Amino acid sequence: MLRLSVLDQSPIREGGTGGEALRNSVELAVLADRLGYHRFWMAEHHASPALASASPEIMLAAIGRETREIRLGTGGVMLPHYSPFKVAESFSMLAGLFPHRIDLGLGRAPGSDQLTAYALQQDRRTKADHAFPEQVVELLAYFDNALPADHPFRNLASTLPGGAEKPSVWILGSSQDSAALAGALGLPYCIADFIAGDAPHLADSYRAAFRPSTRSPSPEVMVACWAVAADSTETARWLAGPSRMMLAHLLRGSLIAVPDPATAAAWLHDNPSPPQPGRVPITGTAAECRTAIEHKAARYGAGEVMLVNILHDHADRMESYRLIAREMIVQPDLADVVIA
């Protein structure tokens, strides 16, 4: 059975605040838990007027107290910014607080522009050399207590605060490098289709490179994609307009808060541009979204699809996830789930 999950970026609507966006994310996570979604992941973005989630691990701590069963994770932690040991400690704590529910999704992208990435460095005498594969290996070794006997940090693994509780580690990506790394380390792989565009070849590369491990004895692929559902196809496309406007501005080198659909429609009318290859979001009624989501999963051979959307109105965002859940997730009491 196809699993459905949620990737959230805490979108900040025009005229709104980051605090409002973060509180909305907690509310969405509670709804996703009740609707039967499998995971709820928080993204990491920095210095953005559009997205408020700069520290996903803080969000997981807040969301964990408000939810019961849904797995919680990061989509993802941008590891080049951080010490692997500090990340190991933080996610060991989360795993200790919420046993068997924590995922640690790792990415190499900065989640920002290069100047902001430089500002995030502790040592600013020179720009840091990013050695993402080596960082991942070190991080895994803390969780596995597998650093070499002569390694200076060898004894730190035994001090992780979560003890025996550990997160499930994923590699996130949209490139051949991430596919090869996930496969070589025997880790599950989440493909950012909403960034890479239609890229089922990444799943093929991952499977070809895969080496069984204690974490994942066989390849495990999840695909993350845009999806907006509404009562009609026209309404869904209307609601998706703000994300199209934001993407157009991003490609021009500027960041904006989430505009309202009318503003986006007017701007897109005055600034027509061809759709980005592979970046056309899934939009439509719940039934139309189901067909497209199942097709997307089949193209990647994925057993799980993670849905992301950026909408101006929080109620519309909640409703989109509710409609898709009612169409695709079997849960006896789903009809009783309402939006406050």
Q: What is the pLDDT of residues 180-191, one digit of tens each?
A: 999 999 999 999
Residue 340 binned pLDDT confidence (cut-offs 50, 70, 90): very low
Tell whether the model's pLDDT for residue 275 goes beyond 80.
no
> Using N-to-C axis directions, what is the helix angle for 200-209 and 176-185, rounded to 10°?
30
> Residue holding tokens 């790394």?
181
pLDDT value of residue 331: 63
Higher pLDDT, 109 or 108: 108
In three-state secondary structure terms, 245 is helix
Q: Of 40, 54, 41, which Cα lies nearest the Cα of 12? A: 54
Instruction: Answer yes or no: are the C-beta atoms of 279 and 285 closer than 8 Å.
Output: no
For CA atoms 193, 52, 21, 91, give the dihedral sign.
Answer: positive
pLDDT value of residue 274: 74
CA distance 325 to 319: 10
The pair of structure tokens assigned to 279 is 């970046």
pLDDT value of residue 53: 94
Gap between the terminal Cα atoms of the chain: 30
Burial bucket for residue 40 (CB in 10 Å: 0-12, 13-18, 19+): buried
pLDDT value of residue 213: 96
Mean pLDDT along residues 195-214: 96
Tell whether the model's pLDDT for residue 276 goes beyond 70.
no
CA distance 24 to 317: 10
Quickly count: other Cβ atoms within 10 Å of residue 207's Cβ.
Answer: 15
Q: Please, which residues bridge with residue 39 across strands?
A: 71
Instruction: Answer yes or no: are the C-beta atoms of 273 and 248 closer than 8 Å.
Output: yes
Mean pLDDT along residues 65-73: 97
Higher pLDDT, 279 or 229: 229
pLDDT value of residue 140: 97
CA distance 151 to 1: 44
CA distance 293 to 309: 14
Percent of the chain with pLDDT over 70: 90
329 half-sphere exposure, CB direction, 13 A CA radius: 23
Question: What does the mean pLDDT of the chain come to?
Answer: 92
In three-state secondary structure terms, 295 is helix
Tell whether the model's pLDDT for residue 332 goes beyond 50.
no
Q: Each residue of 11-26: pLDDT tens digit? A: 999 999 999 999 999 9
Residues in the chain: 340
Mean pLDDT along residues 120-148: 80
Give the range among 127-131, 211-215, 266-270 with minimum mean pLDDT: 127-131
Q: Each residue of 298-325: pLDDT tens digit? A: 999 999 999 999 999 999 999 999 999 9
Mean pLDDT along residues 192-203: 94
**Domains parsed from the chain with CATH numbers:** 3-336 (3.20.20.30)
pLDDT value of residue 203: 98
pLDDT value of residue 124: 46
CA distance 206 to 325: 29
pLDDT value of residue 337: 52
> Residue holding tokens 């799980």?
304
The pTM for the full model equals: 0.92
CA distance 120 to 143: 25
Residue 131 binned pLDDT confidence (cut-offs 50, 70, 90): confident
Tell whether the model's pLDDT for residue 273 goes beyond 90.
no
Residue 118 binned pLDDT confidence (cut-offs 50, 70, 90): low
